[in-house]
Chains A and B, each alone.
Chain A
Amino acid sequence: MAYSKEVIQHYENPLNVGSMNKEDPKVGTGLVGAPQCGDVMKLQIKINDDGIIEDAKFKTFGCGSAIASSSLATEWVKGRSIDEAMAITNTEIVEGLSLPPVKIHCSVLAEDAIKAAITDYKEKQSKQQDNSVAQ
């Protein structure tokens, strides 16, 4: 299969590869996919006191399109509020990378990863609030 130039660019020079401390209350971690399916994405976001995503990192096991989708997703969430990041859809990723129909599931996984990271962050925040209320 021929890859789009956008996919090749992100695959060869992926942005925001790495990991953040998943115990940090400011960090949300999303882990989606399954090794048996050939795709696993870990996407992490770090949210500042103003509720803005100030940093994002990813690691992905998957095809070139999956790696490119997660690279683009981390780049897009940076600088956005949580609600803005929640609004990112897989179709935008499909368009951004010119993904063929057979690779749409990669973009779906990237959207899921963003949402999972935000959910994880929110859960951490509510637990912290519960803790402070209890104290």
Chain B
Amino acid sequence: MTVNIPVFMDNHSTTQADPRVVDAMIPYFTEKFGNAASRNHAFGWEAEAAVDHAREQIADVIGGSGREIVFTSGATESDNLAIRGAAEFYKQRGNHIITVQTEHKAVLDTCKKLEREGYDVTYLNPAKDGLVTPEDVVGAMTDQTILVTIMLANNEIGVVQPIEAIGHAIKKRNPKVIFHSDIVQAVGKIPVDVEKMRLDMASLSAHKMYGPKGIGALWVRRRPRVRIAPMIHGGGHERGMRSGTLNVPLIVGFGVAAMLAKTDMKEEAERMKALRDRLYDKITSELDEVYVNGSMEHRLPGSLNISFAFVEGESLLMAMKDIAVSSGSACTSASLEPSYVLRALGIGEELAHTSIRYGIGRFNTVEEIDYTADVTVRSVRWLRELSPLWEMHKEGVDLTKIEWTNTH
């Protein structure tokens, strides 16, 4: 079987909408175009029924109720709404928030904004494997703590936090503390149960699970009731938590994507893991000085983040131009800083510059994995031939002993 290039292996950034999702959406652009808030005619009722069905499908994947789903424009908005909304609503109780250094920027930047507004934020430092423990979290809790927000699976290194144990520990210490999790990367890949995890809020995004872009959700617990202050004011949609006319076609697509994520998850996760392990085995059997970033044990099935020592990430992406992956190299970021996630793990900047993230998804094939492994190995070998660091390493020079110029 031939491989169609370019190969998409960046499924943490986004995913291809499943054709079944797109088919379900189309009628809601044309003949079923009603406004779900129109309470007095058939067009509105039809749209509302479709939306409510989608709520059930989405809630079903995470063990919640459809009435607890608040639709948003995506997980960035969901994270903002959860954190800002809870911080504002519960400010009488305290001003302390706990999160982790490796969270998505939607969480970190929102927390930084709250710090400027007078809140105290603790950014927990994960261990070298990327994980935090329940003890880390509870140890940071004070009588001022109102909110803990910790992602379930990391978007860059794929590690899965022990959210269930953390949830129990938080609630044991103080059941009033709100526990939020960005579960975007985990839904449809590993089992999620908001009850078992003792969550109060969870952020979801459709386009990370083979649904359309531009639609997400915040699951907000009803019993016991969790309150948040709205960020967007208007017609009082979504129980007053998020005003704005619902985007019915995207919501319908989100619902179908969730339904497929639930029915296909077990089989798909096994297939993803087999592909991921195949990629890992092929790369590590051909190359030395290769380091996996983050826990290999507590990891999403389709996720692999590797540092190829002595080869800079952006040049590697350029050599692998027929494969869509991403890098933690500074040169690939707008800030010109290497990945803050890898740095939080204590990975040296020289290795952070050499990292590649592979995100294997539903539509990847064995042939694509083999092709990706071959191109990776060939590219790394070629760039190492070009690398003065590789040459020095081979000569036995200790690179840490060199006085480098231009160390900024």
A residues near B (Cβ < 8 Å) are 3, 11, 14, 17, 19, 31-42, 59-64, 66-67, 102, 109, 112, 116
Q: Do the beta carbons of A40 and B314 come within 8 Å of each other?
A: no
CB-CB nearest in chain A for B351:
A35
Q: Do the beta carbons of A37 and B387 come within 8 Å of each other?
A: no
A14-B386, A35-B404, A38-B314 known, 17 other contacts, Cβ within 8 Å = A34-B404, A35-B353, A36-B407, A37-B330, A38-B312, A38-B313, A39-B312, A40-B389, A59-B386, A59-B387, A59-B388, A60-B386, A63-B314, A63-B315, A63-B329, A64-B315, A112-B405
Flag whether B348 is at the interface (Cβ < 8 A). yes
CB-CB nearest in chain B for A7:
B318
Q: Do the beta carbons of A36 and B349 come within 8 Å of each other?
A: yes
A-B contact pairs, 16 of them (CB 8 A): A17-B386, A32-B405, A32-B406, A34-B404, A34-B405, A37-B349, A37-B406, A38-B314, A38-B330, A39-B312, A39-B406, A40-B388, A60-B386, A66-B315, A102-B336, A112-B405
Q: Do the beta carbons of B312 and A63 come within 8 Å of each other?
A: yes
Flag whether B385 is at the interface (Cβ < 8 A). yes
Question: Which chain B residues lie closer than 8 Å to A109 at the CB level?
Answer: 406
Question: Which chain A residues lie closer than 8 Å to B385 at the CB level?
Answer: 17
Flag whether B74 is at the interface (Cβ < 8 A). no
Contact of A61 among B310, B338, B349, B406 (CB under 8 A): B310
What is the CA–CA distance of A59 and B388 in the complex, to the nearest angstrom? 5
Min Cβ gap B347→A in Å is 12
What is the CA–CA distance of A35 and B398 in the complex, to the nearest angstrom? 12
Q: Do the beta carbons of A62 and B318 come within 8 Å of each other?
A: no
Q: Do the beta carbons of A38 and B318 come within 8 Å of each other?
A: no
A interface: dominant SS:
mixed
What is the CA–CA distance of A39 and B406 in the complex, to the nearest angstrom? 9
Mark B338-369 against chain A: 1 for CB-CB distance below 8 A, else 0. 10000000001110010000000000000000
Q: What 7 A-B pairs are tightest by C-beta distance, nearest first?
A: A34-B404, A35-B350, A42-B388, A63-B314, A38-B353, A59-B388, A36-B349
Q: Do the beta carbons of B408 and A61 come within 8 Å of each other?
A: no
Q: Do the beta carbons of A112 and B315 come within 8 Å of each other?
A: no
Min Cβ gap B313→A in Å is 8
Flag whether B135 is at the interface (Cβ < 8 A). no
Min Cβ gap A118→B in Å is 15
Question: Which chain A residues lie closer than 8 Å to B313 at the CB level?
Answer: 38
What is the CA–CA distance of A36 and B330 in the complex, to the nearest angstrom? 10
What is the CA–CA distance of A61 and B402 in the complex, to the nearest angstrom? 15
CB-CB nearest in chain A for B331:
A63
Q: Do the beta carbons of A62 and B312 come within 8 Å of each other?
A: yes
Q: Do the beta carbons of B331 and A38 come within 8 Å of each other?
A: yes
B residues near A (Cβ < 8 Å) are 310-315, 318, 329-331, 336, 338, 348-350, 353, 385-391, 399, 402, 404-408
Min Cβ gap B108→A in Å is 23
What is the CA–CA distance of A40 and B329 in the complex, to the nearest angstrom? 14
Q: Do the beta carbons of B388 and A36 come within 8 Å of each other?
A: no
Q: Do the beta carbons of B386 and A33 come within 8 Å of each other?
A: no
Question: Which chain A residues lie closer than 8 Å to B349 at the CB level?
Answer: 35-38
Q: Given that A109-B406, A112-B406 are known contacts, is A61 also in contact with B329, CB under 8 Å in the complex? A: no
What is the CA–CA distance of A70 and B122 in the complex, to the nearest angstrom? 44
Question: Which chain B residues lie closer than 8 Å to A39 at the CB level?
Answer: 312, 406
What is the CA–CA distance of A34 and B348 in the complex, to the nearest angstrom? 12
Question: Which chain A residues lie closer than 8 Å to B399 at the CB level?
Answer: 35
Question: Which chain A residues lie closer than 8 Å to B315 at the CB level?
Answer: 11, 62-64, 66-67
Q: Do the beta carbons of A36 and B405 come within 8 Å of each other?
A: no
Q: Do the beta carbons of B405 and A61 come within 8 Å of each other?
A: no
Question: Which chain B residues lie closer than 8 Å to A64 at the CB level?
Answer: 314-315, 318
Min Cβ gap B357→A in Å is 16
Min Cβ gap A2→B in Å is 11
Question: Which chain B residues lie closer than 8 Å to A33 at the CB level?
Answer: 404-406
Min Cβ gap A33→B in Å is 5
Q: Do the beta carbons of B336 and A35 come within 8 Å of each other?
A: no
Min Cβ gap A48→B in Å is 24
What is the CA–CA distance of A102 and B407 in the complex, to the nearest angstrom? 18
Question: Which chain B residues lie closer than 8 Å to A61 at the CB level?
Answer: 310-312, 386-390
Q: Do the beta carbons of B388 and A37 come within 8 Å of each other?
A: no
Question: Which chain A residues lie closer than 8 Å to B348 at the CB level?
Answer: 36
Q: Do the beta carbons of B406 and A59 come within 8 Å of each other?
A: no
Min Cβ gap B220→A in Å is 39
Min Cβ gap A119→B in Å is 12
Min Cβ gap B385→A in Å is 7
Question: Which chain B residues lie closer than 8 Å to A34 at the CB level?
Answer: 404-407
What is the CA–CA distance of A50 and B406 in the complex, to the nearest angstrom? 33
Question: Which chain B residues lie closer than 8 Å to A112 at the CB level?
Answer: 405-406
What is the CA–CA distance of A11 and B330 in the complex, to the nearest angstrom? 19
